[in-house]
Chain A
Amino acid sequence: MIGRTAAAALAGVALAAVATNPASAYWRATGSGSGTVTTSTGATKVITVALSSGTGRSIKATGAAGLSPTYNPAVTVTLCKVNSWPCPAASVAATLTATATAGTPSYTASSGNLNGVTVWGQASQLETSGWRDYSTIAGPITG
């Protein structure tokens, strides 16, 4: 039997209003119990990203991505000046978009002139199930 993790967070709602009875007005009893809720397994993540230098100090991102109906073929690639994820807004060098196709690579996206900045990159796409899949981080690369 899978054990229960120690990383439990209190995510509950405590009643704000106590009944009109003062604390000593009734004989108390307490109790607890538990139940389970399942999380969707979604689909297997397939998205990947590789970064290469393009013309005019641009960065090109290519990779594999899933297609309909299991995946939304719209791919987003975030180029980040720091290797910290999610990328802080002030550190985003560029956000690229592409549409995946049944080819190799599935998608290609290029940035503009990044003036020689060093970046790391991560691609993501939505599954139809609702999950957003994220690729492993690529980089660093200097444009």
Chain B
Amino acid sequence: MRRYVITAAVVLLVAIGVLSGRHMALSLSASQAPGHSFRISGTAAGLMPGKAVPLTVTVTNPDAQPIRVTSTTVTAQAAGRDCPSSLLAITSFTGTPQTIVPARGHADIHLSITLSVQASDACRRVSFPLSFTGRAEQWQ
């Protein structure tokens, strides 16, 4: 009888410990844990009106754990007064194909950027600045 009381007590202590850990883990889920950010970069060249040009976006993961990229969005700024950002059509990434960036590594996402046929001659040999934002989650 005593043996089982000791066993039950041990079990109770283990349960309490695990449940406490579970509580802590739940409070951390879906949070922006400090130190878990990543970098995005990319360039495209040779844009001409009506021509879809590859935009290779490189995601660099400085973390010690791999991440899965869930979205990447690109916004452009104007390249001078005659070349508004509305002349550019850029695709975005929403998680497919599955893109895992290894710990302290990088991976490429392939997007496409097209200059409108409305672009005038004033937009030859100009550079549109691009801004990237993205989200990723920890990957097991």
Contacts and interface: CB of A to CB of B under 8 A. Distances in A.
Q: Max chain A CB contacts within 10 Å: which of B49, B120, B122, B124? A: B120
Interface string A5-47: 0000000000000000001111110000000000000000000
The size bracket of the interface on B is under 10
A43 B119 CA distance: 58
Interface string A28-71: 10000000000000000000000000000000000000000000
Nearest to A21: B120
The size bracket of the interface on A is under 10
Contacts of B123: 27
Q: Max chain B CB contacts within 10 Å: which of A25, A26, A27? A: A27
Contact of A23 (B48, B119, B121): B121
A128 B48 CA distance: 57
Contacts of B120: 24-27
A27 B48 CA distance: 8
Contacts of B121: 23-28
B87 to A, nearest CB: 11
A107 to B, nearest CB: 66
A25 B119 CA distance: 8
Contacts of A28: 121
B124 to A, nearest CB: 7
Interface of B: 48-49, 82, 119-124
7 contacts: A23-B121, A24-B120, A24-B121, A24-B122, A26-B121, A27-B48, A27-B124
